[in-house]
Amino acid sequence: MPEGQVVLMAVGDTGPFHAPADAYGTLVKPILATADIRFAQAERLYSERGTLQVHAEIPNARLQPELAAVFGDCGFDVVSVAGNHALDWGEEAFFDTIACLEAQGCRTVGGGRNLAEARRPVVIERKGVKVAFLAYCSILNHGFAAGPNKAGVAPVRVHTYYEAVEYQPGIPPRVVTIPYEEDIAAMQADIAAAKQIADTVIVSQHWGIHFVPKVIAGYEVTVAEAAFAAGADLVLGHHPHVPKAIGVHDGKVCFYSLGNFIMSRPERSPEQAAHFEKHHGVKLDPDYPRLAYGVDAKRTLIAKAVLTAHGPARVSFLPAQVDKQLRPEVLRPGDPRFDEAVGYLDWASEDFSHRFTVDGSEVVVS
């Protein structure tokens, strides 16, 4: 790219449970190397310290520090630590994770020793273009949000209400989700401040309904539109472990979920698999026992944006699929999987304004 044009590539949840960490990026590293800035979401903790918290979701969120090498191996420049497992093992493991990622050459965003640190942007300058990153989390266990004198992640918390849709007993209610006004105000203030020091502002959001394809919670749209209204240029979503809608809001693009990038987890027992499928209504793929997040968990994409001093000049994505060795592979036109992946994302996005145009190996979003 010429001077004044910076290529950003962004991916979703990253944090494989199984070694070796440098095996997963084999197919995708040459693609990532063509970007000027690379972003990822850290899904796991990297530490040998800490205590499993009583409100933690799963014990396997903490991994050996050497597994953080996946981020350095893929050359990520910015990594969000604003995730739902950030404090699963307490503050020690959280701080160790930040240190591990920074030792891999990554700058971390979205978490810190207090709220001011968690809300602080990371600004990267390439080719004369300044790009600011902010990161927030809406999937928050008790005590995970940073406070004035408390470690944690930058929050965008959400109220959940249930409304009856019919007078008949037993009919499932409508779920209403409304973000905290004070968190929206804080996020918008952060974006406005970042816009004063950078040409482009990228907002990362750890949010959404996991495992279930297509479904978008109402608060996600509210938060995305609030971010854009404050001056954000691009929103990158993750957490659901499956790709979801790509929506255009007043000319700006929101990737509601980038899906898994490089992930693995312990295999589920037959009993655990049956419970997962019944509880979430999502089938597991027997060919991917270590990617047991649903049959669509192998779908992924790389968001790509050409950034200038005036914001994004072009936003696109690279359709990809995780192979049975859990390596993301960028798909090419002419491969039936490419057309199927584009069709899937078009279906997932049908409730949002969008148009996809294939240009070479990219799908341009407009």
**CA distance linking residue 131 with residue 310, whole number of Å:** 11
| Alpha helices for 206-322 (secondary structure H) | 218-230, 270-280
CB atoms within 10 A of CB 245: 24
Q: What are phi and psi of 159, to 5 degrees?
A: -85, 140
**CA distance linking residue 301 with residue 346, whole number of Å:** 13
**CA distance linking residue 95 with residue 33, whole number of Å:** 28
What does the mean pLDDT of the chain come to? 97
Q: What is the pLDDT of residues 99-158, one digit of tens each?
A: 999 999 999 999 999 999 999 999 999 999 999 999 999 999 989 999 999 999 999 999
pLDDT-derived band of residue 332, with 50, 70 and 90 as boundaries? very high
**CA distance linking residue 237 with residue 54, whole number of Å:** 27
Q: Is the pLDDT of residue 57 over 90?
A: no
Identify the three-state secondary structure at position 193: helix
Dihedral over Cα of 236, 220, 52, 288: its sign: negative
What pLDDT was estimated at residue 58?
80
Residue 271 to residues 57, 69, 152, 274: CA-CA distances in angstroms? 18, 33, 34, 5
Q: What is the pLDDT of residues 170-180, one digit of tens each?
A: 999 999 999 99
What pLDDT was estimated at residue 55?
83
Residue 80 to residues 41, 313, 330: CA-CA distances in angstroms? 5, 24, 23
What pLDDT was estimated at residue 59?
83
Percentage of the chain lying above the pLDDT 90 cut:
96
